[in-house]
Structure 1
Amino acid sequence: MQGNKLRLAIRATASALILGTASQASAFEVSAGDYSADIYGYARFNASYDIDEEIGISTRSGAFSAINTGAAEDNEVTGHFGADAVQTRLGVRTTTPEGVKIVVEGDFRPGQLRLRHGYGEYKGVLLGQTWSNFTSFVGNTSTLDFDSLAGLAGLQGRVGQARYTSGPFSVSVEEATDTGIVGNPNDKQGLPAFTARIQDSSGGFSYSGALLAKQTTYDTGTDDDSIFGFAAFGAAKMALGDTVTVQGTVSYTNGANGYLYRSGENFGAEDAYMDGSSLEAISGYGGSIGMGVNLGAGSSVNVGYGIATVDWDDAEDDGAAVADKSETNQNLMANYQWSPVKNVKLGVEYAYFKRENVSGDDGDASRILFAGQYNF
């Protein structure tokens, strides 16, 4: 019918996006009948120079797993340059006349198109893939490194879930993040993860806190055992006047180390170990602290420190092979960011990474990262 023909009108609007994980303002609005959709995204260039050894991965982020430790540090090849544009992002979001919100977003990490967000939401009920409910960005310091600081609050990743939100409170049932069992490959996800979170603000103070429970199970067909793991975090940010913010996070996990950000080899240590035929939980803790200073004229300086530590003592005492496991990961990042013109952000960042293993071997690496981002 003539009345059902689509009417298409595209108009450019302003975009505001800081470098990193912030959300985009819409750049294009597409109208079709009673529907409208925002198309948003950015093109992003990242380039890194590894001073001591090559630890860069896609988006030129630094990886703890690539740091040489012990004697291997004596044979390091110094000076490595790398660049890519795989952080480039594209998304579409719409709200139907009935009030249903739908978001589909992807980027190109690690080198091909991948789904970041794909969900629908109606009256507080969300179904699909988006940030874990056991995540908060409230206490995060702005960094150019896409993977950012160790010890940030929660998963810092996106999972399939069913979530309900009412005001500052939200609960979810999610795909569990399973980081495995030391000494046993027969782990499985028997149940989803269960989360609860509060996030709110008052004046210049913002805060968030969350709890999570998940099951870790092994099953060989003849032997099996399971334990429940738990995790918690708190995050806060305080504005000190108009130019300075201070922020930080604290986290604790027990049998849920996939939710201790950047622990273990890079993103999460194992949840448990085998003591004979029994599962035993592995615990960990971490945190971050940082400061941001707005210098005016579109420029800012940000400095942040993060640490994640896993308690391998019981596993080691019970004879598990954990000597080469990463016990403590820590990093420091300091950057200068500048917006020379609307919708453009440039920045340079110095980062220091250190890894310490259960055996006592350690290693460190320094690097410089440059980023340029063009938003639409």
Structure 2
Amino acid sequence: MRNKNIVRSSVSLLALAIASQAGAIELSAGDYKAELYGYARFNATYDIDEDIGISTRAGAFSAINTGAAEDNEVTGHFGADAVQTRLGLRATSPEGVKVVVEGDFRPGTLRLRHGFGEYKGVLLGQTWSNYNSFVGNTTTLDFDSLAGLAGLQGRIAQARYTTGALSISAEEPITNFIDGAGVTSGGKQGLPTLTARFEDSAGGLSYSAAALVQEVGYDTGTADDSIIGYAAFAAAKMALGDMMTLQGTVSYTDGANSYLYRSGENFGAEDAYVLGGDLESIAGYGGSVGVGLDLGGGNKANIGYGLVTVDWDDAEADGVAVGGKSETNQNLMANYLWSPVKNVMMGVEYAYFKRENVNGDDGDASRIMFAGQYNF
């Protein structure tokens, strides 16, 4: 599904933080300022229970065996890749026009991550959704990170205006629905998704809140319907002295589960279901909490937990085939990171994933991940 392709591009905060701090290569000429930046990244995992790794060796809820299938698991899987490797160019004109073009190699070929221009608060192009925040996210090595993070942890085409701490946008919609037989289809893209976000900080507290509205529709030529879906999140991080941070996120959606991070088989769940030709919205909620420790000397440790739940009760009561759908996804990640020299990061992470389906079947998996990143 298209939704999965978009959200699958989600980033781990660790990669962002290190890349932004790395010394980029300056390519300035005259009054134009430009920087070439990026990193080479190696990821390796050992899946203890079953193989749930996808590109960048991120863990996938969709790969977890549930119910009787757990009895036939083949244990012990090693995998490695370097497709998270990234390359980008930032340029600023004498007039203050900013342009960013960035790509990486997930899932194995070069793809566009960012491609946008910005001038006096007006942004046009593809970049992080405005319905998104990293403020409350816990640093993980896993590229797809924790369930329940704030908003769409991916990039999308949009028109955005920012003034101070407030930003609003009209974005390419991401909608889908499920029919009575349990078949999922992409929704009709009738109107853009509208978002608003407020993000600021005060002292040791950083915070963010956002909301969106979208049209969820379908039209087969002989039958059609549409409903309005909405979503909201809040995120915050508090610095507890120089060594510790406490952070978290909470989200609620109704008819907009595409924006409830990792709520479906691996990413967004369906927004609605069809009943007698009419669309009925599906609600969901989720959140995450974590602690970060700066141990000094380039050493850091983090632990985070995330959970999302989708309310399938109405769909199930109306006879929709949702028994095998993921109802609750949760995961826990704990890592230790060290920087032996500037612009180099090494890390190891333990992760636990659990999936519970509507029909009561569940399954879990544990894994160990190692990562090495070299920035420029």
What's the TM-score once normalised by structure 2's chain length? 0.94
Contact 1:179 1:268 in 2 (8 A): no
1:186 Cα offset (Å):
6.8
1:176 Cα offset (Å):
1.1
Q: Tell me the residue number matched to 2:7.
A: none
Q: Tell me the residue number matched to 2:130.
A: 133
- Give, in whole Å, the separation in 2 of the partners of 1:137 and 1:70: 35
When the two structures are aligned, how many residues end up with a matched partner? 360
Distance 1:160 1:186, change over 3 A: closer
What are the within-5 Å matches in structure 2 for residues 63-102 of structure 1?
63-102=60-99
- Of 257-266 and 26-35, the range deviating more from structure 2: 26-35
Task: Tell me the SS of whatever aligns to 1:19.
Answer: helix
- Of 17-26 and 358-367, the range deviating more from structure 2: 17-26
What are the within-5 Å matches in structure 2 for residues 9-158 of structure 1?
19-22=14-17, 23-25=19-21, 26-158=23-155
- Give, in whole Å, the separation in 2 of the partners of 1:312 and 1:344: 45
Contact 1:186 1:219 in 2 (8 A): no
What are the within-5 Å matches in structure 2 for residues 206-221 of structure 1?
206-221=206-221
Contact 2:28 2:35 in 1 (8 A): no
Task: Tell me the SS of whatever aligns to 1:32.
Answer: coil
- Give, in whole Å, the separation in 1 of the partners of 2:306 and 2:41: 25
1:131 Cα offset (Å):
0.1
What are the within-5 Å matches in structure 2 for residues 251-270 of structure 1?
251-270=251-270
Provide, for residues 249-303 of structure 1, a one-character-per-residue CA deviation record: whole Å limited to 9, x for no partner. 0000000001000011011100000111110000000000000011111001100
Task: Tell me the SS of whatever aligns to 2:28.
Answer: strand
Distance 1:186 1:141, change over 3 A: closer
Q: Tell me the residue number matched to 1:233.
A: 233
Q: What amino acid does structure 1 have at the position aligned with 2:35?
A: D
What's the TM-score once normalised by structure 1's chain length? 0.94
- Give, in whole Å, the separation in 1 of the partners of 2:41 and 2:124: 29
1:217 Cα offset (Å):
0.6
Q: Tell me the residue number matched to 1:4.
A: none
Distance 1:220 1:246, change over 3 A: same
1:117 Cα offset (Å):
0.3
Distance 1:327 1:215, change over 3 A: same
What are the within-5 Å matches in structure 2 for residues 147-226 of structure 1?
147-183=144-180, 185=185, 187-226=187-226
1:18 Cα offset (Å):
7.3
1:329 Cα offset (Å):
0.2
- Give, in whole Å, the separation in 1 of the partners of 2:265 and 2:27: 44
Name stretches of at least 5 consecutive residues in structure 1 with no aligned partner: 1-16
Q: Tell me the residue number matched to 1:301.
A: 301
Contact 1:251 1:260 in 2 (8 A): yes
- Give, in whole Å, the separation in 2 of the partners of 1:358 and 1:373: 39
Q: Percent identity?
A: 75
Name stretches of at least 5 consecutive residues in structure 2 with no aligned partner: 1-11
- Give, in whole Å, the separation in 1 of the partners of 2:40 and 2:118: 27
* 1:319 matches 2:315: no
Q: Tell me the residue number matched to 1:330.
A: 330
Task: Tell me the SS of whatever aligns to 1:156.
Answer: coil
- Give, in whole Å, the separation in 2 of the partners of 1:163 and 1:186: 24
Q: What amino acid does structure 2 have at the position aligned with 1:24?
A: S
- Of 357-366 and 26-35, the range deviating more from structure 2: 26-35
Distance 1:70 1:52, change over 3 A: same
1:178 Cα offset (Å):
1.9
Task: Tell me the SS of whatever aligns to 2:14.
Answer: coil
Task: Tell me the SS of whatever aligns to 2:314.
Answer: helix
- Give, in whole Å, the separation in 2 of the partners of 1:54 and 1:353: 12
Task: Tell me the SS of whatever aligns to 2:191.
Answer: coil
- Give, in whole Å, the separation in 2 of the partners of 1:40 and 1:20: 13
